[in-house]
Chain A
Amino acid sequence: MAAFGTAAGRPLQGRGGSLGFRFTLYAAVAIVVMYLDQRQHYLEQLRYVLQAAAYPIQLAVNSPPAAWRWISESFESRERLQAENARLRAAQRDLELRSMRYEALARENGELRGLAAALPPVADRWLAAEIVSIQLSSLRQRLLIDRGAVNGVFRAQAVLDDRGLIGQTTHVGPWSAEVILITDPEHAVPVRVERTGLRTIAVGAGDATSLALPYLPANADIKSGDLLVTSGLGGVFPEGYPVARVTEVHRDAVQPLAQVRAEPLAHLDTDREVMLVWFRADHPRAPAPTGKSLGELKSGTPSLQPLAAPPRPPAAAPAAAPQSQPARVRAPAAAPRKQPAESPPPEPQAPEPQAAEPKAAAPQPAAPEPPQEPPKQEPPTPQPDASQAKEHQ
């Protein structure tokens, strides 16, 4: 900031050493900052402060569209409002009918699984957040939402809308948080094909309407219309939440991998509100318990971070790594997938080899040294802001 003062009379070389020296100085500072931020995660505090400082500007920048929306909503006609009201009523009746048998089904399910009492739902608490700004480009698919640390939001928290998965929080400020969408090219979500149980990874394709499934062998049992749900691996999203529907399966005779596209179920480009979710840590379907996953992370799996999309793997690798699928994989992320599994274990449920998940297990491609610091994730024990939390369940 010192350089903002006018210095009209002085020679160019005069202040703080020569030009080259000053450049070296600033470049060194920038590189140190980058190193601390990227490799050590020392700068969470600084990020927190900067995010707080940037929030008013972001609000201001996004106020014109918000104001326009508000105005157009205020002048909506009576007929339209009535029509919307009727539609919502119908939708609510529909949902109530569907949830009528929920209790009974949940108990029945619990009995079938041999549990004494039916488990409570995995989601503990919901909090609606409004979208402040949207960045949807082919490079970055991010949202800024108006809830932050004061509402108990933590890093790597799952974000949903009423139809499916949206993404997870990356940077949390006091009043705002940045959400990386599942369609961001840097994001990958471990999924399971609901029809067959086939597990794979869905990587963002950089536009709001498609995900890529790049790690499926050409003979994988997947077809257009299959529903993808979260597999519960990776430690961020709990099992069983809908993610996307397969729209396109392209098999090429010469390619060992199938080219599969899926369309996210969540309305990533039209949503105005999203839901932040807190999960019961002790629930069997919850993502990896924090303490345990931190231990695993220390041993080298940065699975709690937003996963960087890796370059396409060498063709043979995923296809040649079949993987047994126990009925309920509880040990998430690191443990079972490290071994390449030369001998394909027998697999009663699914005849075709499971697609391996090279992504969640392998260290990030650009991180040569495996022992990466775990992200500072607060345990998902929220400081409940009861007035604002909507207890849906």
Chain B
Amino acid sequence: MNAPSGGRILITGSVALVLTVLPLPPWLDVLRPVFLVLAVLYWSVNAPRTGDIALGFWAGLALDVFQGPVLGQHALALALVTYIAVREHQRIRSKPAFQQALIVFAALAVYEFVLFAIDGWSGHAVSSPLRWVHTVTGALLWPPVAAILAYGSRGRA
């Protein structure tokens, strides 16, 4: 697979950001996965040279601006997730979709745990169990999201 250009990553990232901040009714909002994290994960695994920790950091900062109580919170969480994904990208890439979804679930759980810890540290503690729902829906949506991103990069490359 040839490395996709930074432009494509930027475009898919923007679309994912819009999907992430799009206003939805509350019950759907709980279920909505953080699309931007999924996209960043995909690029970290499939284009580790382009989608890098820097990508995670800036994407996280964008999330911070839209929904973070503390600037830098999502940036740290997403940088950590990207680090893990880039480090293990070969192992993750070779797995079948089902196992990839499990790994994505673990990554999202790590991501949410970092947010949770920082929330607690900064005095914004929200301990509702609903905040963990998106890790499950994100893992469930991983196969289609990965397929769409893969189709986009193959179709244009």
- Residues of A at the B interface (CB closer than 8 Å) are 1-8, 10, 12, 15, 19-20, 22-23, 26-27, 29-34, 37-38, 43, 46-47, 50-51, 53-54, 57-58, 60-62, 65, 133-140, 185-186, 206-207, 308-309, 311, 364-367
What would 23 A/B residue contacts be, using CB atoms closer than 8 Å? A2-B54, A3-B54, A5-B6, A6-B6, A8-B2, A23-B79, A26-B53, A26-B79, A29-B57, A30-B57, A31-B76, A34-B70, A34-B71, A61-B18, A65-B23, A135-B67, A137-B29, A139-B128, A185-B128, A186-B69, A186-B124, A206-B128, A364-B123
- Residues of B at the A interface (CB closer than 8 Å) are 2-3, 5-6, 9-10, 17-18, 21-23, 26, 29-30, 48-50, 52-58, 60, 65-67, 69-73, 75-76, 79-80, 83, 86-87, 118, 120-126, 128, 130-131
- Which of B30, B123, B126 is packed against the most chain A CB atoms within 10 Å? B123
Q: Is the CB of A138 within 8 A of B130?
A: yes
On whether A139 and B54 interact (CB within 8 A), knowing A8-B49, A61-B23, A366-B120, the answer reads: no
7 A-B pairs besides A19-B86, A34-B122 with CB distance below 8 A are A6-B3, A6-B49, A26-B79, A34-B70, A57-B17, A134-B23, A139-B131
Which of chain B's residues have a CB closer than 8 A to the CB of A4?
Answer: 6, 9-10, 50, 54-55
Which of chain A's residues have a CB closer than 8 A to the CB of B126?
Answer: 139-140, 185-186, 206
Cα–Cα, bound, A57→B21 (Å): 9
Q: Is the CB of B53 within 8 A of A7?
A: no
Q: Is the CB of B71 within 8 A of A33?
A: yes
Which of chain B's residues have a CB closer than 8 A to the CB of A30?
Answer: 57, 60, 72-73, 75-76, 79
- Which of B3, B23, B87 is packed against the most chain A CB atoms within 10 Å? B23
* Of B49, B79, B124, B128, the contact of A308 (CB 8 Å cutoff): B124
**B36 CB, nearest partner CB in chain A, Å:** 13
Which of chain A's residues have a CB closer than 8 A to the CB of B72?
Answer: 29-34, 37
- Which of A6, A10, A65, A186 is packed against the most chain B CB atoms within 10 Å? A6
**Chain A residue at minimal CB-CB distance from B69:** A186
**A2 CB, nearest partner CB in chain B, Å:** 7
Cα–Cα, bound, A30→B17 (Å): 19
Q: Is the CB of A23 within 8 A of B53?
A: yes
**B14 CB, nearest partner CB in chain A, Å:** 9
**A157 CB, nearest partner CB in chain B, Å:** 18
**A218 CB, nearest partner CB in chain B, Å:** 24
Chain B interface, >50% SS class: helix
Which of chain A's residues have a CB closer than 8 A to the CB of B49?
Answer: 6-8, 10, 12
Cα–Cα, bound, A60→B14 (Å): 12
Q: Is the CB of A37 within 8 A of B70?
A: yes
**A62 CB, nearest partner CB in chain B, Å:** 6
Cα–Cα, bound, A20→B52 (Å): 12
**B48 CB, nearest partner CB in chain A, Å:** 6
**Chain A residue at minimal CB-CB distance from B9:** A4
Q: Is the CB of A33 within 8 A of B21?
A: no
Which of chain A's residues have a CB closer than 8 A to the CB of B79?
Answer: 23, 26-27, 30
Cα–Cα, bound, A57→B22 (Å): 10
Which of chain B's residues have a CB closer than 8 A to the CB of A6?
Answer: 3, 5-6, 49-50
**Chain A residue at minimal CB-CB distance from B75:** A30
Cα–Cα, bound, A65→B52 (Å): 35
Q: Is the CB of B23 within 8 A of A46?
A: no
**Chain A residue at minimal CB-CB distance from B18:** A61
Q: Is the CB of B123 within 8 A of A367?
A: yes
Cα–Cα, bound, A301→B23 (Å): 35
**Chain B residue at minimal CB-CB distance from A50:** B65
Cα–Cα, bound, A106→B56 (Å): 59
**A44 CB, nearest partner CB in chain B, Å:** 10
Which of chain B's residues have a CB closer than 8 A to the CB of A29?
Answer: 57, 72, 75
Q: Which 9 A-B pairs have the closest CB atoms?
A: A4-B6, A366-B123, A33-B72, A3-B54, A30-B76, A34-B72, A23-B83, A37-B71, A308-B123
Q: Is the CB of A38 within 8 A of B70?
A: yes
Q: Is the CB of B121 within 8 A of A366?
A: yes
Cα–Cα, bound, A187→B6 (Å): 41
On whether A19 and B60 interact (CB within 8 A), knowing A6-B5, A308-B124, the answer reads: no
Cα–Cα, bound, A139→B87 (Å): 32
Cα–Cα, bound, A186→B121 (Å): 14
Cα–Cα, bound, A15→B86 (Å): 14
